[in-house]
Amino acid sequence: MKVLANDGISKSGIELLEKNGFEVDLTKVAQEQLPKYINKNNVTVLLVRSATHVRKDIIDGCNGLKIIGRGGVGMDNIDVDYAKSKGVNVINTPAASSKSVAELVFSHLFGCVRFIHNSNRDMPLEGDAHFKDLKKSCAGGSELSGKTIGIIGFGRIGQEVAKIAIGIGMKVLFSDKLFKEQEINIQFFDNQKVNFKLTSSKINFLLKNSDFITLHVPATDKYLINKKEINLMKNGSGILNLARGGVVNEEELLIALDSKKLSFAAIDTFENEPKPRIKILMNSKISLSPHIGAATLEAQDRIGIELAEKIIEILK
């Protein structure tokens, strides 16, 4: 049986599949050519990440497909219900990248409160001639310890964010429709562990009482953070979107940054991905990354293995 990993798969995932009798094809096939390629090469399993979209046309045009796999959490680029109605298994890897995304949240957050995202832009241009001015402009940063982080969406990623936040002395608020109460287990390098029990807050309470807000929710058909929600936030607070483009109204975000209602934002996922709007890219109050939440070697290794294990379980 042949597996087409159209957006790639880790070496460990390939090795596990091949060990169990699967042939892995790493060809990058253009979106419009996928049905023809899948049928011509008798592909049984199609693996994608965020780049490839698997819509009804591909599902209808590829009768030999038995599994569609998404390396990652969100599956908004796959017509999941339609695929299942046609008898095609749809799998993803919800746990594999949680730690990587959570660590990127704090990469952005530490950078923003200490103006690292700005100094990395300005130092190469002006560091030799205006060192003292840059030093002054980057002074007045703040510590995260003692501050409150509000986590909207408390699945696996949100919980990993909470663990890091607790570890550095932050207060944690979370809001989630599925969880009223959640116990967080933090394990340390020497096998010690600590449990924290957290209770869900109403989203308006979270917005009003958080110094920083981070979003970890699925794709939505309307903004979760719009003008109304931004107005509820603390003056001078910051917001991070490493979830999905379209969760935050970027136009309202720009207005809030320009008016100093918000002090900063961090964005890894964009409304107009893969062509983010220029105003977002050029705004000095926004810390930017190109949708790399799950893009660590460790996460990709776990994703590949988890996909391989699920494929083997279903087909073997």
Sign of the C-alpha dihedral computed for residues 306, 310, 311 and 316 taken in this order: positive
Residue 15 near residue 307 (C-beta atoms within 8 A):
no
Give the HSE-up count for residue 226: Cα atoms under 13 Å, Cβ half-sphere: 6
State the Cα–Cα distance between residues 165 and 170, nearest whole angstrom.
5
Dihedral sign of CA atoms 51, 222, 94, 155 in order: positive
The first and second tokens of residue 231, run together, are 């107005």
Element (H, E) at 230: helix 227-232
**For residue 59, what are its two tokens?**
């599902």
Task: For 227, list phi and psi in degrees, rounded to 5.
Answer: -55, -45
Under 8 Å CB-to-CB from 239, ≥6 apart: which residues?
Answer: 212, 213, 214, 215, 225, 230, 233, 248, 253, 262, 265, 266
Residues identified as active-site: 244, 273, 291
Beta-strand pair 43-48/23-25: unpaired
Task: Look at the chain and count its residues.
Answer: 316
Task: Compute the C-alpha angle 248/253/257, nearest 5°.
Answer: 150
Q: How far apart are CA 270 and CA 235, in angstroms?
A: 24
Q: For residue 201, how many other CB atoms are within 10 A of its CB?
A: 20
Quick check: bond before 274 cis, omega within 30?
yes
- How many Cβ atoms sit within 10 Å of the Cβ of residue 198? 18
Residue at token pair 């964005």: 267
